[in-house]
Structure 1
Amino acid sequence: MSKTIAIFGFGPGLGMGTARRFGREGFRVAVIGRDPDKARRHADELIADGIEAAPFPADVTAAAQIEDVIARIETSFGPIDVAMHGAAGEMVNRIPSTLDVDIPSLGIPFALKLHSPILMTRALAAGMVERGDGALLFSSGASERHPLPYLSNFGIALAAQRGYLRQLEVELRGTGVYVGLLNIGVLIGGSKAERIVDEHPELVPAELEIVRMGNDELGDCYWRMYTERDTGELDVGFVD
């Protein structure tokens, strides 16, 4: 019987690359995004590639909507075997300096990269543990690993996310539920961020070396993490 992957915060970069990789392995894909039209377009693109997919519009930062969308997915596709959280912020949500960090500037980063992963986990982990199988996959970025003042509010949120996931991974060992964090130190091919950077290079500090990676390659990384389950974290694209 086919398995289901639900991608929370589906985008044209990481989400699409992951969906295609798992879809080639026979997974059904639940496309979860806030914009119904975009979710439908992404699902249609996957269907055109021969992958079973459907859109499930929802705001992944809202607890009630996460619970509702999971219920809708399970009605259509059955239990969720793999959940990937790929929601990311917009360029307009960043701040220019660490000195500018205040409580309001942390609202969106924490909602996207800490609160939403916790909500997703709380909604799915118990069922996966009961079935003795499942995977919870998450994404992080360079600003948690390397000080990037112009992304400092997101770096703080990503550090909090990593702390939560490290504890979660320890507690779920031996249950059959895998927890994996992909630390992404690249500009993702096909992503909205890549398009914005190409159109407005002035948004990125001139001295910053940008490494790019195709979204299909990142999908391969998630597939390897899911199938091998030999590490709780995988780093890609970081330049020391």
Structure 2
Amino acid sequence: MTLAIFGYGPGLGRGVAHRFGRAGFPVAVVGRDAERAAAHVRDLEEHGIRARPFTADVTDEQRFPALVEEIENQLGPIRVALHAAAADMSVRSAATLTTTTAQLAFPLALKLYSPMLMARTLIPRFRDEGTLLFTSGASEQHPAAYLANVGIALAAQRGYIRQLALELRDTPVNVGLLNIGSLIEGSAAQRIVDAHPEAIPPGLELTRISGAELGEHAWRLHTERELVELDAGFPA
């Protein structure tokens, strides 16, 4: 029973990997950078978690089926898959009114088409049961002009996941969406914001959430089938 994290990062990915690793899951660390993926695996192995690195772009439709084969050949059948890939702040559009279809291309590829690809690839391969987990950000529930294109893509993803969960409700496949409303400690986004606070609109205060806390939320989505969505890090 393998956990595959597509778009592994040092915040969310690490937190989820440690939580599932403690439960006996080996972890497939999937990222675009081979050196970083190998470093993440070393970190997990130092904590007694079996893991393997895999290099891939999760938006690559031609590569994805072969990637899944590689993971299962090395670690065993995937039982839980987390789509954790997030858009870099450099892709954001400046305002909703000026957002173009070109500016939507990458966010949609990353947060809608790639999750759809993961679901289409894995659902037929699940044996007795399986869990598909997805992630979203604050700009879907709380629109922000400076994240217009990302928020639009996240809204499309949410619509897809809600429909998918409805259609799979009476099957052995579990679907969960983790909505994250804070900066993740240790993440690339957190480091960018700390280094360039001017990237955030004046007056906007971003709270922080740990990867460990998100790992617990992901575990709940896996084990409590009645949960389809879970909010974490949003203001009360």
Bin of the TM-score, shorter chain as denominator length? over 0.9
Question: In 2, Cα distance between the equivalents of 1:171 and 1:60?
Answer: 24
1:68 corresponds to which letter in structure 2? A
- Partners of 1:201 and 1:29 in 2: CA distance: 34
Correspondence list, 1:19-30, <5 A: 19-30=17-28
Please name the residue that 1:37 is paired with.
35
**Whole-angstrom distance in 1 between the partners of 2:160 and 2:121:** 16
**Counterpart residue type for residue 36 of structure 2:** K
**Which amino acid in the other structure matches residue 61 of structure 1?**
T
- Structure 1 residue 209 displacement after superposition: 2.4
CA distance, structure 2, for counterparts of residue 28 and residue 174 of structure 1:
27
Counterpart in 1 of 2:227?
A: 231
1:92 equivalent among 86, 90, 93: 90
Partner of 1:76: 74
Give secondary structure in 2 for the equivalent of 1:70: helix
1:178 aligned residue (170, 174, 186): 174
| Alignment partner, residue 156 of structure 2 | 160
Distance of 1:69 and 1:211 partners within structure 2: 35
The within-5 A match list for 1:98-177 is: 98-128=96-126, 131-177=127-173
- 1:211 pairs with one of 207, 212, 218: 207
Say which SS state the counterpart of residue 83 (structure 1) adopts: strand
Q: Does 1:15 align with 2:16?
A: no
Tell me if structure 2 keeps the 8 A contact 1:132–1:175. no
TM-score w.r.t. structure 1 length? 0.96
Distance, in Å, in 1 between the alignment partners of 2:119 and 2:226 is 20
Letter in 2 for 1:177: V
Residue aligning to 1:222: 218
Question: Could you tell me how far apart the structure 2 residues matched to 1:227 and 1:175 are?
Answer: 15
Structure 2 residue aligned with 1:202: 198
> What one-letter code is carried by the residue in structure 1 that aligns with 2:122?
L
- Please, what TM-score do these two structures have when normalized by structure 2? 0.98
Amino acid of the structure 1 residue aligned with 2:28: A
8 A Cα contact 1:8 1:86, kept in partner: yes
State the secondary structure of the residue aligned to 1:115: helix
How far the C-alpha of 1:239 sits from its partner, in A, is 2.0
CA distance in 1: counterparts of 2:11 and 2:102, whole angstroms = 28
Where does 1:53-64 land on structure 2 (aligned, <5 Å)?
Answer: 53-64=51-62
User: Does the CA-based 8 Å contact 1:182-1:235 persist in structure 2?
Assistant: yes
For these two proteins, the number of residue pairs brought into alignment is: 236
Runs of 5+ unmatched residues, structure 1: none
The CA distance in 1 between the partners of 2:227 and 2:24, in whole Å, is 24
- AA in 2 matched with 1:15: G
- What is the Cα deviation at residue 97 of structure 1? 1.1
Distance 2:152 2:40 in 1: 30
RMSD (Å), alpha carbons: 0.9
Aligned partners of 1:48, 1:62: CA distance in 2, in Å? 31
Question: Where does residue 50 of structure 2 map in the other structure?
Answer: 52
Structure 1 segments (4+ residues) deviating >2 Å: none
Is the 1:46–1:53 contact (alpha carbons within 8 Å) kept by the matching residues of 2?
Answer: yes
